Amino acid sequence: LQTMSGNEDDWLALKPQEPSPSQCCGSGCKPCIYDVYEKELAQWERAKAKKDKSLLMEKKEQSNNSELNPDTFTAFNISSVEQLTEDTYQYKFELPGNSSLQLSLGQHIVLRGVVNGLEVQRAYTPISPGNAEGYFEVLMKCYEAGLMSQYIKTWKKGDMVFWRGPFGGFPYRPNKYGELLMLASGTGLAPMLPILQSITDDEEDETFVTLVGCFRTFDKIYLKPLLQDLARYWNVRIFYVLSQETSLEKLPWSYQENTYIGRLAEDLMKMIINSCRRKPFVLICGSSAFNEDMNRYLKAAGIEENSCFVF
């Protein structure tokens, strides 16, 4: 009898743990962390019924082959850490050889962190081109009280970090839309950049792009040199909306004519839409409050829901 109960404890120790709500990134991933848990639980139950622990081994092997995978977390090395603003960082991760993540446009990947023994998962969109070889880059904002932020703040060059994916994405095809209107708040800029870069890299793609970046202050605008470069293309316009700047006069003159002080509200939205060269298809990425506001203003400006995509 003794051996039986010991054996029972062994099996319990191997039982997959049900994810806590903080582990789900809420982005509608397929498979979701809960789907992965169900699959692992079924695998555990089969193994236990057959009293065969080797049936649990397959999931352990997958994560060593440093290829991104939607079902299992894979370890990637941090090759550089760059602070962009007081609370925003750009991290570069190594990919083996010349391999690339092969992400479709705007796809996100899910990060796993452990904070005070609690596992947390969050979705991030790499800002590097999907075909970048040997590396990928992610823009991350650290919040004072954020669980994941506490984990991210400890990162140093050479650390190992676990990702899985890719998920979601916006099915962009060249010349499918006359004009894309991109509404991004803060790090919501991330999924817009690969799409914007794919348009400017493709001489055959004549899609117009109007990007509206909403930030608190001028200092909080990320990746200014990259955005300035993109704004030089004939088919790209970039506007900034700064909610906590007091006057345009403090800004460099090259920013004054395409920057608005205040919030992106209904009147400004109508003005931007009216200035679009063709009827826009709208991409939105920001906090849930930002996304809701944008949807409301777009509706008021006569843009139907089927002409919008929210990341």
CA angle 108, 114, 118 (to 5 degrees): 115
Q: Closest Cα partner for 208 from 303, 129, 277, 307? A: 277
User: Binding site annotation covers 141?
Assistant: yes
User: Binding site annotation covers 275?
Assistant: no
Tell me if 297 sits within 8 A of 277, measured CB to CB: no
DSSP per-residue codes, 65-118: S----SSS-EEEEEEEEEEEETTEEEEEEE-STT----PPTT-EEEEEEEETTE
User: Binding site annotation covers 118?
Assistant: no
Helix (H, G, I), strand (E, B) or coil at 173: coil
Tell me if 196 sits within 8 A of 209, measured CB to CB: yes
User: Binding site annotation covers 124?
Assistant: yes
User: Binding site annotation covers 216?
Assistant: no
Tell me if 136 sits within 8 A of 128, measured CB to CB: yes
Phi-psi region of 212 (alpha: psi -120 to 50; beta: other; left: phi over 0): beta
> What's the CA gap between 25 and 208, in Å, rounded?
32
User: Binding site annotation covers 185?
Assistant: no
How far is it between the farthest Cα atoms of the chain? 82
DSSP per-residue codes, 111-150: EEEEETTEEEEEEE-B-S-TT-SSEEEEEEE--TT-HHHH
Instruction: List the binding residues.
Output: 122, 124, 139, 141, 148-149
Instruction: List the binding residues for FAD.
Output: 122, 124, 139, 141, 148-149
